[in-house]
Structure 1
Amino acid sequence: MLIAYWIVAGLLAVFYLYSGGMKILRSKDALRPMMAWVDDMPLAAVRAIGAIEVLGALGLVVPPLTGVAPWLALAAAVGLVAVQVGAGILHLSRREPVWMNLALAAVAGALVWLATIWL
């Protein structure tokens, strides 16, 4: 179970560090080709979503690694499920595909279960 947690958490953390980092650092013009929804949101909201994703990624890895507040890994996994639920709702409202949101929510949901090993 511990090995499974680290594999899934590591992969999810890399994804969210990249995705969130792009939302924090890039302009709307640079994000638009891969994230058309940025036109419908203020830049501050896009940056906030990016910050939430980066914090979620760090929350999956840092607390269990250091042993300080390991319950934060469970909270981070739950938060990332919530991020994908919100993203799925946004994409559905724009009539866009939601397969990636469903897949990421499922992986983060599995990580919720795997994170219970730290509690």
Structure 2
Amino acid sequence: MNITLWIIAGLLAAACLAAGLFKAVQPREKLVASGMTWATDFSAGSVKAIGAVEVLGAVGLILPAALDIAPALVPWAATGLAVTMLGAAAVHLRRGEAKAVPPSLVLLVLAVVVAWGRFGPQAF
């Protein structure tokens, strides 16, 4: 179970790191032009903050446990990413972007599994 949670956390971290860096580094106009039309509902600073939250969540899933420094932060990072993905799914649903909802829900489920596993049976 521990190895499975590490794999899930690694996949989740990779996805959130990539998405977060993209949002944090690219200008909002470029994000909108690339198909992320939801960004028009948010200020440029808010989009960058969302990207930063995703990057920090990805780092929080891996580094505390890998370095054995405050590994109890891992389930909290997973919980934060779950809340972030719930918000993403809600925004996409509100905007009528049905095709963008499943990826958010998949990441939400992965984050919930990691949080459950690390708070519960496989806590550090």
Normalising TM by the smaller chain, what interval?
over 0.9
Counterpart position of 2:72: 71
Structure 2 alignment gaps of length 5 or more: none
**What is the Cα-based RMSD across aligned positions, in Å?**
1.1
Counterpart position of 1:105: 108
1:85-104 alignment runs, 5 A limit: 85-97=86-98, 98-104=101-107
Deviations 1:18-37 (A, max 9, x none): 00000110012221123111
Counterpart position of 2:31: 31
Aligned equivalents of 1:81, 1:103: Cα separation in 2: 10
> Stretches of 4+ moved more than 2 A in 1?
none
Identity across matched positions, percent: 39
What's the TM-score once normalised by structure 2's chain length? 0.91
Aligned length: 119
Aligned equivalents of 2:21, 2:117: Cα separation in 1: 25
Equivalent residues of 1:16, 1:57 under 8 A apart: yes
1:43-54 alignment runs, 5 A limit: 43-54=44-55
Counterpart position of 1:12: 12
What's the TM-score once normalised by structure 1's chain length? 0.94
| Secondary structure of 2:46 counterpart | helix
| Secondary structure of 1:118 counterpart | coil
Aligned equivalents of 2:54, 2:41: Cα separation in 1: 19
Structure 1 alignment gaps of length 5 or more: none
More displaced, 1-10 or 12-21? 1-10
